[in-house]
């Protein structure tokens, strides 16, 4: 069977985004990543930075974010929801609109696998990589920061995992929740794209 929508969840620094982009390119599919953040920002009036940040942090998981979220819940515009929940809700609508649009596409992150769980011909992919590969990659791509690469990776893994769990009640990165999971560090980025391209074509 061929797939018209491919969702790509990925560990930070695994090259999942590059794989998704190259896959969309080879297949001639639309590619959605930052475009979703931009749409959500336009729709909600929040800044893109705020939407990106909220998209990876589970609301209510720390005292600070809980208080902050509650304080900012504005009845009316956000229907009594916290900014985090409101962004999730708007983001879900946008992802479903993309799917309803009928164009073939690759969607990176943002729990699209869960949001589109009732849709047909969706291939859910997860890309992981070992720590050394990811450390090297984030330093090469985003440069050094005052925080050590291990710490940045650990923090981001935790955020994405908590966020996914909070909104979907599913384990992020558990093989059973995806159609295919690939390790980019052992298979190589090109090989990952080859496998997914073959699979998408059916």
Give the separation between CA 82 and CA 43, rounded to whole angstroms: 16
Instruction: Give every CB contact of residue 184 below 8 A, 6+ residues apart in sequence.
Output: 14, 15, 16, 19, 127, 128, 129, 133, 192
Report the site for a second copy in 156-175 (rule: CB under 8 A).
173-175
User: Which of 143, 136, 149, 163 lies closest to 56 in space, CA to CA?
Assistant: 163
CB of 113 to a second copy, least distance (A): 12
- Rule CB under 8 A: is residue 179 a binding residue for a second copy? yes
Of the ranges 70-78, 102-110, 140-148, 184-192, which one interacts with a second copy (CB under 8 A)?
Answer: 184-192
CB of 196 to a second copy, least distance (A): 10
CB of 201 to a second copy, least distance (A): 12
Q: What is the total count of residues that contact a second copy (CB under 8 A)?
A: 20
- Rule CB under 8 A: is residue 198 a binding residue for a second copy? yes
Provide the phi-psi class of 79: left if phi over 0, else alpha when psi is between -120 and 50, else beta: left
């Amino acid at each position: 069977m061929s797939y018209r929508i491919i969702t790509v969840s990925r560990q930070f620094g695994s090259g999942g985004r590059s794989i998704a982009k190259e896959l969309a390119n080879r297949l001639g599919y639309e590619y959605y990543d930052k475009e979703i953040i931009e749409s959500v920002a336009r729709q909600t009036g929040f800044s893109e930075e705020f939407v990106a940040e909220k998209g990876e942090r589970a609301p209510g998981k720390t005292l600070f974010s809980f208080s902050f979220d509650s304080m900012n819940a504005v009845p009316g515009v956000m229907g009594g929801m916290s900014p985090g929940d409101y962004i999730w809700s708007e983001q879900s609508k946008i992802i479903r609109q993309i799917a309803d649009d009928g164009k073939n596409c690759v969607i990176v992150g943002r729990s699209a696998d869960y949001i589109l769980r009732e849709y047909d011909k969706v291939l859910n992919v997860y890309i992981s990589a070992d720590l050394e590969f990811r450390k090297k990659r984030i330093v090469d791509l985003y440069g050094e920061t005052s925080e050590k690469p291990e710490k940045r990776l650990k923090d981001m893994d935790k955020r994405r995992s908590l966020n996914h769990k909070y909104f979907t009640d599913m384990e992020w990165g558990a093989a059973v929740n995806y159609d295919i999971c690939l390790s980019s560090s052992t298979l190589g980025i090109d090989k990952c794209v080859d496998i997914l391209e073959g699979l998408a074509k059916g």
